[in-house]
Structure 1
Amino acid sequence: MEKHIYQTYVQVLKEELVPAMGCTEPIALAYCASKCFDTLQDEVQSVDIFVSGNIVKNVKSVIVPNTGGLKGIEASVAAGIVAGDSTKVLEVISIVTNLQKEEMRHFLDSISMKVQAIESDCALDICVHLHGIYHNAKVRIAGYHTNIVYIEKDGEVLYESGVVASSDSSLTDRSLLNVKDIYEFATTVAIEDVQDVLQRQIDCNYAIAKEGIENNWGANIGSILLKTYGDDVKIKAKAYAAAGSDARMSGCEMPVIINSGSGNQGMTASLPVIIYALEEKATQEQLYRALIISNLCTIHQKTGIGRLSAYCGAVSAGVGAGCGIAYLKGGDYKTIAHTLVNALAINSGIVCDGAKPSCAAKIAESVDAGILGYYMYKNGCQFKGGDGIVCKGVENTIRNIGRLSRDGMKETDKEIIKMMCD
């Protein structure tokens, strides 16, 4: 593999597989608010919050961790101001005292907070404007969850990135991703170059999945699957991914390792592969290489789709998990490519209507499609070019999915947001 491509793939994994505590959209709000409060250096008198529609959608129904069960945009911002540590980025409210939880509620009761939905070219767009006694401050995040593009204090611009907010252009170039090179990278990479990020993903995501299975979180999709259908590995793979999501959507205060800006996607891409590796007694190196396949295949699909859209990101991650499982089972590049296309043909109709408990059920279905996509090809069956949106060639099919979600579903996204707001 060319050195430039190799280094790019390593860097992409390091950029994407990072820890976050709580659903990443509320946490991005908290991070933005915490950074703004750091800039203000004054007592807050009022708050103006400007957000894109997809932020409204993904913050509305999910519990913000370490807040005592609070939900919503205002709660996320209040948490960042009262208890945030901006140096922790997506773990900005990971350490919160009981006193601070009380202070959050007092802040919400006593401080004027106005939220305005804005039209933006960027699906992920957040601006927090704090008004103090003596000072004002403004911070904007756009493009992806930690991408601060603007900082202002008392009318003076302290930082402006100059990066187009609607793109991920400040990140490592994802256009080099393709399934053939992903397979080659996974089979040849020096494990020490990626071991730390992958082991962290295994440890964090498996821990929250166990919490979701063993205790009462959300809709309990994981435990219902096991109780109803048994503990066959194919059921366990779905159940553990769903259980992690149920815990996280319901405010569990355990970190997860995200993928493409989403903890649900990070868990969906990794947990089914981890479960298969445990069941089949795979070596740790085999698990690492399979996780490279699943994570990079997920990121590759999401590159064309975007961070937030009307297309459910769990589908991309479930497809990625199917590819990782195919690799664990001895599949070559051709097997992985056909697994990916089959899985996309099965499940590319799930819409994203925000972060909430039903994400766990969508995750279970997406993992099922990934696994079925593999077993179809193993049994000599496949969907072919011309079958609906499937094209000849895995890269062409991935491009079609990007086009479907990015262009075709723009109006769908607007209608979903209107329904949720109504």
Structure 2
Amino acid sequence: MSKSIFRELLDKEASPALGCTEPMMFALAGAITRKHATGTVKRVDMVGCGLMVTGVQAVGIPKTGGKTGAFLSAAVGIINGDADACKEVLNNIRPEDVAAAEELVKNAEFTLDMDNSTGKQVYFKLTLTTDEHVATVIFEDEHHTWTYLEVDNKVLVDNRKPASEMLIPADDVDWNEFTIEKIYNWCKTADISELGRAKEAVAMNTVLAKDGIENPRGIQTARVLMQNVESGFVAGDEITHILIWATAGADARMGGSDYPAMVSTASGNQGAMVVMGPWASAEYRKCSEEEGYRAVAFALLVNTYLKYLSREYVYMPPTCSCAATSAPAAAAGVAFIHGLNPKQINDMLCTSMIHMAGVVCDGAKPSCAFRMFTSLFGCLEAMMMAEKGIRASNVEGFVHDDIKVTVENLYRLQHDVLHNKVDAILWDIVKEQKVIH
């Protein structure tokens, strides 16, 4: 694989986004349909796959002061969302827009339900009905990719594909070239100009992480840890420094921060962790900026590598990617800073992946940051073990000597056991608890 292909993967799977992907998508759908359906809003009907409709319930919506919910997410998009800004659809939302959106939720009829029948891991449909028009938009495969648009029974766009043709980026990758060792070598030797996206990611995610440290966002995982360092209860060592900065961005995002994140494989939480974990290590060890950017690029590409091996679950798996892939990838970036070689990093990744094997995704929420903290701590221990030649062996559960086969084994768990089951149970729980909003 040439340098240009690594650069393409780095640029493709790391991009800016404002807010958690679920409320962003609901708002974007609202903004798109509103462009085609003027008049007084009467109804907003939404259906989506399980993790879409559950994940939107608990995370803060940017520019709303931390308010939550599917109905308000769609409503702010309808009121003043910028459909052309895509993943930054909420950039222009003002306090008066939030107030207007809350009134809209009160005065119009909003509905939300789950639909897992499409076979798509990412699926969302919103129909906006006004006194003048009816507009429907459908998103598939990616949170920002709308494939269908219908206005007043006239189809304007239809790029839908059957589930058998769903987006699987892994099919476009040469796996003989896209390996941990070759990622490592490229990040070590590439001209620094090739790593511009890593530099952008550090700048963007540092601001986001500071918001999570300095303000009571989300579940405050990083902020509480920092406060306990200051009180003397927790040591202010490198591991603590890494844990604080790697989880603070998730605290901020899940709490509705107004600052964007550089995402990794469609997830801002993953981007926050894989960028800030190695960068915090480099900062603590007083490495040069170039060393830090190379480690960040490595972590981003390792996260892409691990996620692509999840095939159709690359952007929305039934297992927790923050715990099972981004924490190992972030620790791989730290290992890069510490001078571990590709073999040691392979071993560390195998131990790390099995550490959180089978942990399911129960939707985006503030406590994601706490799960990320727990997983990253374990992955850093796996790094220290690998440095000593210690790792989980191939007689232990899903583990194989090679990280690629280990992840493929875990894919079988997702496909054969968890697919369409976890999110269906979650949606039943959400309905039972009467918290749909």
TM tier, shorter chain? Answer: over 0.9
What secondary structure sits across from 2:128 in the alignment?
strand
What secondary structure sits across from 2:126 in the alignment?
strand
Please state how far the C-alpha of 1:132 moved relative to its aligned partner: 2.5
In structure 1, the gaps of 5 or more residues are: none
For each residue in 1:286-322, what CA deviation from the matched residue of structure 2 results, as whole angstroms up to 9, or x when unmatched?
A: 1122112211111222223312233111121000011
Greater mean alpha carbon deviation, residues 39-48 or residues 315-324: 39-48
Q: Does 1:96 align with 2:106?
A: no
Contact 1:130–1:136 (8 Å) recurs in 2: yes
Classify 1:407/1:42 alpha carbon distance in 2 versus 1 (closer, same or farther; 3 Å): farther
The whole-number CA distance in structure 2 between the counterparts of 1:346 and 1:32 is 37
Aligned to 2:81: 84
Aligned to 2:299: 294
The whole-number CA distance in structure 2 between the counterparts of 1:15 and 1:262 is 13
TM-score, normalising length: structure 2:
0.90
For each residue in 1:129-150, what CA deviation from the matched residue of structure 2 results, as whole angstroms up to 9, or x when unmatched?
A: 1122332211111111111111
Aligned residue runs from structure 1 range 152-171, under 5 A: 152-164=150-162, 167-169=166-168
What secondary structure sits across from 1:229 in the alignment?
coil
Aligned to 1:186: 187
Aligned to 1:126: 124
For each residue in 1:41-82, what CA deviation from the matched residue of structure 2 results, as whole angstroms up to 9, or x when unmatched?
A: 444332221211111121111121212443211111101111
Contact 2:362–2:422 (8 Å) recurs in 1: no
Q: Does 1:148 align with 2:153?
A: no
Aligned to 2:435: none
Q: Does 1:308 align with 2:316?
A: yes
Please state how far the C-alpha of 1:24 moved relative to its aligned partner: 0.8
The whole-number CA distance in structure 1 between the counterparts of 2:29 and 2:99 is 21
The whole-number CA distance in structure 1 between the counterparts of 2:194 and 2:51 is 35
Classify 1:341/1:169 alpha carbon distance in 2 versus 1 (closer, same or farther; 3 Å): closer
Aligned residue runs from structure 1 range 20-419, under 5 A: 20-119=17-116, 120-164=118-162, 167-169=166-168, 173-174=172-173, 176=175, 177-195=178-196, 197-226=197-226, 227=228, 228-305=233-310, 306=313, 307-315=315-323, 316-410=325-419, 411-419=421-429
The whole-number CA distance in structure 2 between the counterparts of 1:37 and 1:239 is 40
Amino acid at match of 2:385: M
Amino acid at match of 1:311: T
Classify 1:86/1:186 alpha carbon distance in 2 versus 1 (closer, same or farther; 3 Å): same
The whole-number CA distance in structure 2 between the counterparts of 1:164 and 1:239 is 43
Please state how far the C-alpha of 1:174 moved relative to its aligned partner: 4.5
What secondary structure sits across from 1:64 in the alignment?
coil
Contact 1:301–1:402 (8 Å) recurs in 2: no
Greater mean alpha carbon deviation, residues 246-255 or residues 295-304: 295-304
Greater mean alpha carbon deviation, residues 258-267 or residues 153-162: 153-162
What secondary structure sits across from 2:264 in the alignment?
coil
What secondary structure sits across from 1:382 in the alignment?
coil
Greater mean alpha carbon deviation, residues 153-162 or residues 28-37: 153-162
Amino acid at match of 2:246: A
The whole-number CA distance in structure 2 between the counterparts of 1:113 and 1:346 is 41
TM-score, normalising length: structure 1:
0.93
Amino acid at match of 2:345: I
Cα RMSD over matched residues?
2.0
The whole-number CA distance in structure 2 between the counterparts of 1:162 and 1:380 is 49
Please state how far the C-alpha of 1:223 moved relative to its aligned partner: 2.6
Amino acid at match of 1:154: D
Amino acid at match of 1:180: E
Contact 1:163–1:170 (8 Å) recurs in 2: no
Classify 1:235/1:186 alpha carbon distance in 2 versus 1 (closer, same or farther; 3 Å): same
- Percent identity reads 26
